[in-house]
Structure 1
């Protein structure tokens, strides 16, 4: 069920992005659960690296 919610949340974000740039929000298409999970895992890895970088900068 969580992957279904993630898919709809992603679609909502895409529709808002289309609308914000003056495009038709109906052009937004739902991505697969696998695509969204891959994106989320990459985003999590990036945030972890950013956190480590900030801690390193504060330490020195």
Structure 2
């Protein structure tokens, strides 16, 4: 008969999952900064130049 292997909790696996979570969070933060940041910057720039004001006739 074959012996069943007992499953042991690997402490390294748990550590990798925590590091992966931190990597995902930092990736989300970087995507937010570089994705939304330029849009906000361009909007502020255009607003300061009067782009959104109606033309005067």
The two structures have a TM-score, normalised by structure 1, of: 0.44
The two structures have a TM-score, normalised by structure 2, of: 0.46
Whose Rg is larger?
2
> Which structure shows the higher helix fraction?
1
Could you say which structure has the greater relative contact order, defined with CA pairs below 8 angstroms and 6 or more residues apart? 1
